């Protein structure tokens, strides 16, 4: 990539960050999140066109780390076809677990758990790679912002019915839906229901820190789920004498209660491994930039879908 201009995208469900980098010159632009009910590649192409229009940049390479990327959508050649008018000549696409890992740990071996609206864990060892969860809000994402928000709504309605303990989360939910018995109808009719549900995770974090027992239970349960994903992933890649780093990133870990519980559970349950909890080197967007220079011998290179214009 030496000397080449890169347009990198960190594409999540809540938002998309675009970074235009040429040498030491870097500019970031923000866009709305992926609409999971629409085709992915046209959305990425629209973001690239908009970023170029807004900044006047002339990138040669486009890279993207994408939440929930599937083989069906991982067609870098097709994306280049949608960008034929831009002068971009190379494209590299990867699941955001790959770019989260590269951004957080670079070439270090270990595991990264990235928990925002969704969650995915990726572990990279000497000769193996393991992904755990990242299966979306309908089938997985245990411990994610959506998972926490969904648990909060469930707890509020249990309290409303008399099936569960009272919680100050009820007041939070009533701020959005004053009539709790009508809330489910309004939520089901909302196109952005995933982000709406995930938005309650911030209130769970705040009330857990304030001592609300229901919020605290949800938070510690999320921490257990996230720690389980990490130890499971590490168990699939580690050798007995490996020393591995673990990095926890994403908005969910802004909760001091959750982060502390996660560290405690990880320390308790990872006695079979020599691991160290470390701070991230960078973010997902840094990992997206790194795709442009990822060598073919890197363990994660097989997870990157690339194409070059002819």
Count how many Cα atoms sit within 13 Å of the Cα of residue 39 in the half-sphere of its side chain: 8
Work out the pLDDT band at 12, boundaries 50, 70, 90.
confident
Residues 296-306 pLDDT 10s:
888 898 899 99
CA 213 → CA 161, 202, 232, 263, 278, distances in Å? 18, 16, 28, 20, 29
Per the listing, tokens 């609206």 go with 117
Cβ atoms < 10 Å from Cβ of 184: 12
pLDDT in tens, 107-147: 889 999 999 999 999 999 988 999 999 998 999 999 999 99
* CA within 13 Å, CB half, 148: 38
Cα separation of 233 and 210, whole Å? 33
Two structure tokens written together for 293? 């220079």
Strand blocks (E) in the chain = 6-11, 15-22, 25-32, 61-66, 90-95, 110-115, 119-124, 129-132, 243-249, 274-277, 305-308
Instruction: State the pLDDT at residue 163.
Output: 97
CA–CA separation, 286 vs 30, rounded Å?
15
Helices (H) and strands (E) in the chain, counts: 12, 11
Contact (CB, 8 A) for 203 and 152:
yes
CATH tag for 107-280 (out of 3.30.360.10, 3.40.640.10, 3.90.550.10, 3.30.420.40): 3.30.420.40
Please compute Rg for the chain using Cα positions: 20
Q: Which two tokens stand for residue 16?
A: 């998309």
3 band by pLDDT with thresholds 50, 70 and 90: low
Across the chain, what does the average pLDDT equal? 93
Tens digits of residue pLDDT in 42-63: 999 999 999 999 888 899 999 9
C-alpha distances in Å from residue 93, one per residue of 7, 37, 77, 241, 245: 12, 19, 10, 33, 25
Q: Average pLDDT for residues 91-108, to the nearest whole number?
A: 92
Q: Taking the model in full, what pTM does it have?
A: 0.84
pLDDT digits (tens, 9 = 90+) for 268-287: 988 788 999 999 999 899 99
Q: Which CATH class is domain 6-96+284-308?
A: alpha beta
* Residue 223 predicted with pLDDT over 50: yes
Using alpha carbons, list the distances in angstroms from residue 257 to 29, 212, 213.
Answer: 32, 12, 12
> Please, which pLDDT band fits residue 241 given cuts at 50, 70 and 90?
confident
What value, to the nearest 5°, has the Cα angle with vertex 259 and ends 206 and 136?
A: 85
Q: Is 209 exposed, middle or buried (0-12, 13-18, 19+ CB in 10 A)?
A: middle
- Has residue 1 got a pLDDT over 60? no
DSSP 192: T
Q: Using the predicted structure, report yes or no on whether residue 250 has a pLDDT greater than 60.
A: yes
User: Does the fold of domain 107-280 match that of domain 6-96+284-308?
Assistant: yes
Judged by phi (left if over 0) then psi (alpha if -120 to 50, else beta), residue 231 lies in alpha
pLDDT in tens, 66-81: 987 888 889 999 999 9
Structure tokens belonging to residue 108: 């270090």
Burial class of residue 294, CB neighbours in 10 A (0-12, 13-18, 19+): buried
Q: For the chain, give every domain's residue range.
A: 6-96+284-308, 107-280
Q: What is the DSSP letter of 5?
A: -
């Amino acid at each position: 990539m030496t000397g080449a201009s890169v347009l990198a995208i960190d594409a999540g469900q809540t938002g998309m960050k675009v970074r235009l980098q040429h040498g030491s010159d870097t500019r970031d632009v923000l866009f709305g999140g992926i609409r999971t009910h629409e085709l992915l590649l046209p959305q990425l192409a629209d973001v690239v066109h908009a970023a170029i229009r807004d900044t006047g940049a002339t990138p040669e390479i486009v890279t993207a780390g994408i939440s929930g990327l599937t083989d069906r959508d991982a067609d870098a050649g097709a994306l280049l076809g949608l960008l034929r008018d831009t002068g971009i000549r190379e494209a590299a696409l990867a699941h955001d677990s790959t770019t989260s890992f590269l951004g957080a740990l670079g070439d270090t071996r270990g595991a990264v758990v990235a928990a925002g609206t969704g969650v995915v864990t990726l572990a990279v060892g000497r000769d193996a790679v393991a992904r755990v969860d990242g299966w979306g809000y309908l089938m997985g994402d245990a411990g994610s912002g959506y998972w926490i928000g969904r648990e909060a709504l469930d707890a509020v309605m249990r309290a409303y019915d008399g099936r569960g303990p009272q919680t100050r989360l009820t007041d939070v939910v009533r701020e959005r839906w004053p009539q709790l018995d009508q809330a489910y109808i309004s939520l089901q009719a909302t196109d952005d229901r995933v982000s709406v549900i995930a938005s309650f995770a911030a209130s769970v974090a705040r009330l857990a820190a304030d001592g609300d027992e229901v919020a605290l239970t949800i938070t510690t349960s999320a921490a257990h789920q996230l720690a389980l994903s990490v130890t499971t992933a590490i168990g699939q890649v580690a050798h007995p004498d490996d020393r591995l780093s673990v990095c926890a990133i994403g908005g969910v870990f802004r909760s001091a209660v959750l982060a502390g519980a996660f560290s405690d559970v990880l320390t308790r349950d990872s006695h079979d491994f020599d691991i160290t909890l470390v701070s991230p080197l960078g973010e997902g967007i840094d990992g997206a930039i790194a795709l442009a220079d990822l060598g073919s011998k890197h363990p994660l290179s097989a997870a990157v879908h690339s194409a070059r214009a002819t």
